[in-house]
Amino acid sequence: MLVGGMGDMACSDHQSPSKGSFTASATWIMTDASSLRPIANHEGGHNFGLAHARSLDYDTIPLGPPGTDGIHAEYGDPFFHHG
């Protein structure tokens, strides 16, 4: 089974023909029951406006020299296990 999800970044304005305007965010999840909680938590964070914990790696140097670019990691939080 394909496992994953997608969440809106924060809220956006919508219009209902019968109720007028409202603000909402949405999450789409496709997973089995064993992965539902971590994926729902992750995507729910996006609904609150949180992005991924990106990081830069400069190998053995704590911070790269000025003007240099490290290796980018989209899920760079070393304290969060994905999977």
For residue range 56-69, list pLDDT tens digits in order: 888 887 787 788 88
Residue the block writes with tokens 């190998």: 59
- Which pLDDT value is given to residue 16? 93
For the chain, the domain total comes to: 2
Q: How far apart (Å, rounded) are the C-alpha atoms in residues 78 and 68?
A: 22
Residues 59 and 41 in one domain: no
What is the spatial distance between Cα 57 and Cα 73, in angstroms, rounded to a whole number? 8
Residues 58 and 30 in one domain: no
Give 1 or 18, the one with higher predicted confidence.
18
How confident is the model over 47-53, as a mean pLDDT? 86
Give me the domain span that covers residue 81. 52-83
Q: Looking at the structure, do residues 47 and 57 belong to the same domain, yes or no? A: no
In this structure, are 32 and 60 located in the same domain?
A: no
